[in-house]
Amino acid sequence: MNPTENQNRPVTVADHKELGRKHAEKKLSAVNDALQFPVGDQFDEELNLLLNSDAEASGEVIAIALIDLDEFDHINRDFGREEGDRILIEAGRFIRDSLPEGARVFRIGGDEFGIIFHGTLEREEIFLFLNELKNRYDVRTPDGVRQTLTIGMGTAFEDASRCAELIRKADGALFRAKVAGRDRVAMAREEKMVPKTSHFTQDQLQRLAKLSKREGVGEAILLREGLDLLLKKYDI
């Protein structure tokens, strides 16, 4: 199709979706360009490298924190996306400038940041640091309202040894902190399992068994990871 034909044809639903995707990428890029943080999969990649290193044998502490800006949707809605970008950039810079030695901040996406801690700080010291970080956060909207942070934390080898499981535990802590009222830090904790009968196809169970054998991980753990991804997809 030549450019003239493209200009004259009707706009389709697919066109609208593509325009929306490009707009979202542009907004995401504006914040990323300003912060220059590693993003997305780089968080998982770096965490995987550390978990597979000799850190545990060397007595080094590895922990992660997932940081969510509270009630962020209303900022874009009430003040516009440029104001939302400003707050994201200020939040990112505040987190970066507050980090202790051996910690690195990532832009996970949307209004969520992640920190990987690696070094000599103990679990309790990291928790106290995150609580102080939350308390000192003082980014405000144009009407002078102070924004707040909610944080979930997980510690490697104590809460989980695999990347996906550790992130899942920290995300669960973040969820608990949100439900408890936001503006707080929660640590991952031992999970209470509740039995629930489910039915799967034979093909699903065979593939699950194959994946479990390949990864050296229990089928129940893989199912919990899959359920958490589903809940996150639908923002529950």
Domain residues for the domain of 51 are 34-191
Does the residue 108 lie in any domain?
Answer: yes
Taking only the tens place, the pLDDT of each residue in 63-88 is 999 999 999 999 989 999 999 999 99
| 236 and 169 both lie in a single domain | no
Q: Taking the model in full, what pTM does it have?
A: 0.74
pLDDT band at 218 (very low <50, low <70, confident <90, very high): confident
Statement to judge: residues 186 and 234 lie in one domain: no
151, 58: one domain: yes
Is residue 183 one of the residues assigned to a domain? yes
**In the chain, how many domains are there?**
2
Over the stretch 137-176, which tens digit does the pLDDT of each residue have? 999 999 999 999 999 999 999 999 999 999 999 999 999 9
The Cα–Cα gap between 229 and 84 comes to 26
Amino acid at 202: Q
Q: Classify residue 89 as exposed, middle or buried by CB count within 10 Å of its CB (0-12, 13-18, 19+).
A: middle
